[in-house]
A and B are shown apart, each in its own frame.
Chain A
């Protein structure tokens, strides 16, 4: 297939040279001397009522050009439910919540003016944990929860339960009551993970011809546009969002946060305003991967068949619902993935607490649900005496098996991937010898995630010099999609070289709707929209060339920058000649394309409160870790790490390998030492590089990976997103390997040396959840 051979290549990145020379202007590098600087007044209590907020003295401070409070942007935003004000209105719900903002000529002047704001807060008793929030007598984090606008229908809600998603398939009670089953129950708890993108959240707002223009470091220009419209009570079309190169996102920038504030201040001042989070603010208000509590029970026969499974997953959304509302959906597809299960019911609840709001982080709740499911699977194997790899081979999802919501999985993917892992291991050998007297453990784990499809649009303009301009709302966040796979796809479609494809930076005024860069979706969704746009371009091009060459369009083909008569290489005309002809006769050649989810059905009645009932494109991984644990210090060394990843089709294998190495290392941080804790006054304790322990070069090892191609995908050329899932099963593989090395159950991450030592000496308190009722149904809103 020539289209394929013209598309698949290890294309280097066109942005690498400028990035290496320090010339790339990220949003944070675009400060100009004529800009105003905005600084936020943030709450220093976790919960309270604003009794007095007087900003008049701040207005009079030197250099101050505007001061804004919640009253200036009263609209609420959110995902699923509109529960989030831009600046606190009446109620404080977390430590660090923005209350007011000052814009001044210099940052120092803005900071000085903050001190002139009179703020009186009546403290309220904070609700810090999900256990507290679920007490019947708990104070409501959102007293007004009933009055919020519902953006997406269907989720059950009550008090501190921001959202509940439930799936139920088959007769689970009957399965658990069978006389021939063993029931295995496990409980897990995980903390938050902070993204620490090197560029913090930052935005530059201006007010131009009666409209807002926001330049920002975001993954979701259309969300920023829409949220700014909501909070400022403007039609969203009066907001334009453009996105310079983004210095790392990892999901943190998959929601709007501070951006609308700059538009508000720009409207008030008529000036351009920059607002950037200091590193402390960035980490103290990071929309982290949420902390969670998971209880899972399975009914398994002596042969290993899982006849029943049920689980309760509590996800801390912090002070506002945010992404967790959506992510409750993903429990069905992650805890409910991996294995063939007879009957199953799962409930996932996003719980409000007076802590900084959480958000999306690469593979989101899939990371800890996979940790929980894989550790639980190992506990099943231990209880029933099965070999963990043989058990997985026997029970992983196969062609025709049902997911939690009744979705039918197509093709055998995980089974052959497990075989490929054996081959990979045989090729690399194992590293047990390197354990050198320490406790050695190894584990092979599986994971199920998805490509977040959804709407994307693309326009392709063919230029008279033979180049093509691709216009989309895609953002280059570092993963290379905009630099590699998209130009490769367009070039392959149009018979061009990838460097002839110009990729336009995201601009909501230039390109159509897009739900954002994340969820592994860019190559698939924007890629498919681009292919559709190219189809129109190709059709116009061949029609024009047919006229010029007096040949039927179906006898023409595009290759090497020419329109050729098939079978006669070198014949025909160059693309520039055809484009020039078209411009003079029918007009410039352009095409537009669109794409959206196909909405694969679930079984009726199985999914409740879900944003996605079934996965359009499931993605699978197999991860294998070998570890050595020092019994004296509790330190875990990763000796080897192997990955088999379902990529559908690898368009740029070298770039995918780079994503796998980077994603696995972020996962190692999560599994071993990245720890976020909440202080007694409700702050994130780790708000700088000294206290939050990121992976360093000496901590890591080279990951060996095998890209598994050929699993079904609706993505262009059969591709699936490859950048998100490398982190999916790292917590699982490390958790299982450490459990085996030390011979104790691992039920909590991260596995810091003190925790490992406590586990070794049986001093670790294992998770118990009195606030999760023993009967599954009692944990649902019915």
Chain B
């Protein structure tokens, strides 16, 4: 069976077992190793990618279900010398990263969450993070960073809004 989808903006044709988990294609065929296979059963979130803009664990995604989809990995979020996504930049500035293995998945999950929930409060952010485990940081600095990012975003949109009036 042949599956065709777009991967980080380029067409990709896959001809093998359609049950192959997406994470294996990314890591083994494309050497896109920013997507981490940590638990391989949907609990840790380290393998999160965007499929048509939605954050999904790539370990649970059989490639056969991706026909016609747009897949973005952490490498595609800000490639080459492109600026970091604001959340990545904020994590860097806050010294939030430790071993770093969970962060590509954190960034993919939380960037989609922030886009869809710009008004989220701290408790909502924390509940949204149940699917992204971090063994190093104890989470709070990650949560603080998301809270700050959303605040900044709200302020900029408010200022921009008032300027438009």
Q: Is the beta-carbon distance between A16 and B99 smaller than 8 angstroms?
A: no
Residue-wise, chain B 135-151 has the 8 Å CB interface mask toward A (1 for contact) of 11111111100000000
Interface size on B, residues (CB 8 A): 52
Q: Is the beta-carbon distance between A12 and B93 smaller than 8 angstroms?
A: yes
**Chain A proximity of B50: nearest CB distance (Å):** 13
Question: Does B35 lie at the interface of the complex (its beta carbon under 8 Å from any beta carbon of A)?
Answer: yes
Q: Is the beta-carbon distance between A247 and B130 smaller than 8 angstroms?
A: no
Q: Is the beta-carbon distance between A697 and B135 smaller than 8 angstroms?
A: no
**Complex alpha-carbon distance, A722 and B143, angstroms:** 23
The residue among B99, B123, B127 with the most chain A CB atoms within 10 A of its own CB is B99
Q: Is the beta-carbon distance between A661 and B141 smaller than 8 angstroms?
A: yes
Question: Does A522 lie at the interface of the complex (its beta carbon under 8 Å from any beta carbon of B)?
Answer: no
Q: Is the beta-carbon distance between B139 and A697 smaller than 8 angstroms?
A: yes
Question: Does B23 lie at the interface of the complex (its beta carbon under 8 Å from any beta carbon of A)?
Answer: no
Known: A20-B107, A478-B136, A658-B137. A689 touches B99 (CB 8 A): no
Q: Is the beta-carbon distance between B95 and A247 smaller than 8 angstroms?
A: no
Of the candidate stretches A123-131, A195-203, A393-401, the one touching chain B is A195-203
Kindly report which residue of chain B lies nearest to residue A665, judged by CB atoms: B138
Chain B residues, CB < 8 A from A246: 99
Known: A248-B101, A658-B137, A689-B43. A698 touches B126 (CB 8 A): yes
Q: Is the beta-carbon distance between B40 and A279 smaller than 8 angstroms?
A: yes
Q: Is the beta-carbon distance between B97 and A19 smaller than 8 angstroms?
A: yes
Q: Is the beta-carbon distance between B92 and A662 smaller than 8 angstroms?
A: no
Kindly report which residue of chain A lies nearest to residue B129, judged by CB atoms: A697
Q: Is the beta-carbon distance between B138 and A12 smaller than 8 angstroms?
A: no
**Complex alpha-carbon distance, A592 and B33, angstroms:** 37
Question: Does B44 lie at the interface of the complex (its beta carbon under 8 Å from any beta carbon of A)?
Answer: yes
Q: Is the beta-carbon distance between A197 and B98 smaller than 8 angstroms?
A: no
Q: Which of A479, A654, A663, A689 contacts B44 (CB 8 A)?
A: A689
**Chain A proximity of B93: nearest CB distance (Å):** 7
Q: Is the beta-carbon distance between A198 and B44 smaller than 8 angstroms?
A: yes
- Chain A interface helix/strand/loop/mixed: loop
Q: Which of B27, B95, B143 contacts A655 (CB 8 A)?
A: B95
Q: Is the beta-carbon distance between B98 and A478 smaller than 8 angstroms?
A: yes
**Chain B proximity of A403: nearest CB distance (Å):** 31
Q: Is the beta-carbon distance between A26 and B140 smaller than 8 angstroms?
A: no
Kindly report which residue of chain B lies nearest to residue A20, judged by CB atoms: B88
Q: Is the beta-carbon distance between B138 and A16 smaller than 8 angstroms?
A: no
Question: Does B112 lie at the interface of the complex (its beta carbon under 8 Å from any beta carbon of A)?
Answer: no
Chain B residues, CB < 8 A from A703: 138, 140
Known: A19-B103, A25-B33. A698 touches B39 (CB 8 A): no
Q: Which of B36, B78, B133 contacts A21 (CB 8 A)?
A: B78
**Chain B proximity of A344: nearest CB distance (Å):** 35
Known: A22-B35, A247-B100, A698-B127. A10 touches B138 (CB 8 A): no
**Complex alpha-carbon distance, A690 and B40, angstroms:** 11
Question: Does B58 lie at the interface of the complex (its beta carbon under 8 Å from any beta carbon of A)?
Answer: no
Residue-wise, chain B 95-125 has the 8 Å CB interface mask toward A (1 for contact) of 1111111111001000000000000000101
**Complex alpha-carbon distance, A696 and B41, angstroms:** 16
Q: Is the beta-carbon distance between B99 and A199 smaller than 8 angstroms?
A: yes
**Complex alpha-carbon distance, A247 and B139, angstroms:** 17
Question: Does B64 lie at the interface of the complex (its beta carbon under 8 Å from any beta carbon of A)?
Answer: no
Q: Is the beta-carbon distance between B92 and A16 smaller than 8 angstroms?
A: yes
Chain A residues, CB < 8 A from B137: 658, 661-662, 665
**Complex alpha-carbon distance, A419 and B126, angstroms:** 34
Chain B residues, CB < 8 A from A702: 140
Q: Is the beta-carbon distance between A477 and B44 smaller than 8 angstroms?
A: no
Question: Does B74 lie at the interface of the complex (its beta carbon under 8 Å from any beta carbon of A)?
Answer: yes
B residues 73-101 touching A (CB-CB < 8 Å): 73-75, 77-78, 84, 88, 91-93, 95-101
Chain B residues, CB < 8 A from A690: 41, 43
Q: Is the beta-carbon distance between A662 and B138 smaller than 8 angstroms?
A: yes
Question: Does A245 lie at the interface of the complex (its beta carbon under 8 Å from any beta carbon of B)?
Answer: yes
Known: A478-B98, A698-B126. A22 touches B75 (CB 8 A): yes
Q: Is the beta-carbon distance between B139 and A31 smaller than 8 angstroms?
A: no
Question: Does B19 lie at the interface of the complex (its beta carbon under 8 Å from any beta carbon of A)?
Answer: no
- Chain B interface helix/strand/loop/mixed: loop
Q: Is the beta-carbon distance between B138 and A21 smaller than 8 angstroms?
A: no
**Chain A proximity of B92: nearest CB distance (Å):** 4
**Chain A proximity of B15: nearest CB distance (Å):** 17
Question: Does B38 lie at the interface of the complex (its beta carbon under 8 Å from any beta carbon of A)?
Answer: yes
**Complex alpha-carbon distance, A664 and B140, angstroms:** 12
Residue-wise, chain A 669-704 has the 8 Å CB interface mask toward B (1 for contact) of 000000000000000000011100011111011110
Question: Does B55 lie at the interface of the complex (its beta carbon under 8 Å from any beta carbon of A)?
Answer: no
Q: Is the beta-carbon distance between B95 and A13 smaller than 8 angstroms?
A: yes
**Chain B proximity of A142: nearest CB distance (Å):** 33
Q: Which of B28, B75, B93, B130 contacts A23 (CB 8 A)?
A: B75
Question: Does A412 lie at the interface of the complex (its beta carbon under 8 Å from any beta carbon of B)?
Answer: no
The residue among A22, A480, A689, A698 with the most chain B CB atoms within 10 A of its own CB is A22
**Complex alpha-carbon distance, A196 and B126, angstroms:** 21
Q: Is the beta-carbon distance between B98 and A666 smaller than 8 angstroms?
A: no
Question: Does A15 lie at the interface of the complex (its beta carbon under 8 Å from any beta carbon of B)?
Answer: yes
Chain A residues, CB < 8 A from B136: 248, 478, 662
Q: Is the beta-carbon distance between A19 and B100 smaller than 8 angstroms?
A: yes
**Complex alpha-carbon distance, A199 and B136, angstroms:** 12
Question: Does A463 lie at the interface of the complex (its beta carbon under 8 Å from any beta carbon of B)?
Answer: no
Q: Is the beta-carbon distance between B143 and A16 smaller than 8 angstroms?
A: no
Q: Is the beta-carbon distance between A658 and B141 smaller than 8 angstroms?
A: yes
Q: Is the beta-carbon distance between B95 and A654 smaller than 8 angstroms?
A: yes
Kindly report which residue of chain B lies nearest to residue A661, judged by CB atoms: B138
**Complex alpha-carbon distance, A703 and B95, angstroms:** 16
Chain B residues, CB < 8 A from A666: 135, 138
Residue-wise, chain A 236-273 has the 8 Å CB interface mask toward B (1 for contact) of 00000000011110100000000000000000000000
Q: Is the beta-carbon distance between A248 and B135 smaller than 8 angstroms?
A: yes
**Chain A proximity of B59: nearest CB distance (Å):** 10
Question: Does B46 lie at the interface of the complex (its beta carbon under 8 Å from any beta carbon of A)?
Answer: yes
Question: Does A29 lie at the interface of the complex (its beta carbon under 8 Å from any beta carbon of B)?
Answer: yes
The residue among A658, A688, A694 with the most chain B CB atoms within 10 A of its own CB is A658
Question: Does A301 lie at the interface of the complex (its beta carbon under 8 Å from any beta carbon of B)?
Answer: no
The residue among A23, A247, A666 with the most chain B CB atoms within 10 A of its own CB is A247
Chain A residues, CB < 8 A from B36: 198, 247
A residues 25-66 touching B (CB-CB < 8 Å): 25-26, 28-29, 31
The residue among A663, A694, A696 with the most chain B CB atoms within 10 A of its own CB is A696
**Chain A proximity of B126: nearest CB distance (Å):** 5
The residue among B32, B91, B100 with the most chain A CB atoms within 10 A of its own CB is B100
Kindly report which residue of chain A lies nearest to residue B91, judged by CB atoms: A20
Q: Is the beta-carbon distance between B100 and A478 smaller than 8 angstroms?
A: yes
Question: Does A24 lie at the interface of the complex (its beta carbon under 8 Å from any beta carbon of B)?
Answer: yes
Q: Is the beta-carbon distance between A688 and B39 smaller than 8 angstroms?
A: yes
Q: Is the beta-carbon distance between B39 and A16 smaller than 8 angstroms?
A: no
Residue-wise, chain A 399-442 has the 8 Å CB interface mask toward B (1 for contact) of 00000000000000000000000000000000000000000000
Chain A residues, CB < 8 A from B84: 17, 20-21
**Complex alpha-carbon distance, A195 and B43, angstroms:** 16
Residue-wise, chain A 645-670 has the 8 Å CB interface mask toward B (1 for contact) of 00000000011001001111110000
**Complex alpha-carbon distance, A123 and B137, angstroms:** 44
Q: Which of A15, A198, A655 contacts B135 (CB 8 A)?
A: A198
Chain B residues, CB < 8 A from A31: 27-28
Q: Is the beta-carbon distance between B104 and A22 smaller than 8 angstroms?
A: yes
14 more contacts with CB within 8 A, not counting A248-B101, A696-B133, A703-B140, are: A10-B95, A12-B95, A15-B97, A19-B100, A22-B33, A22-B74, A196-B135, A198-B102, A665-B138, A688-B39, A689-B41, A700-B138, A700-B140, A703-B138
Q: Give 25 A-B contacts (CB < 8 Å), ordered by A residue.
A: A12-B93, A15-B97, A15-B100, A16-B100, A20-B84, A20-B97, A22-B73, A22-B104, A28-B33, A29-B27, A195-B135, A196-B135, A197-B99, A197-B101, A198-B36, A198-B135, A247-B36, A248-B98, A248-B135, A654-B95, A658-B95, A661-B139, A666-B138, A696-B133, A697-B132
Top-7 shortest CB links A-B? A22-B34, A478-B99, A19-B100, A665-B138, A198-B101, A22-B74, A29-B33
List residues of B whose CB falls within 8 A of some A CB.
Answer: 27-28, 32-36, 38-41, 43-44, 46, 73-75, 77-78, 84, 88, 91-93, 95-104, 107, 123, 125-127, 129-130, 132-133, 135-143
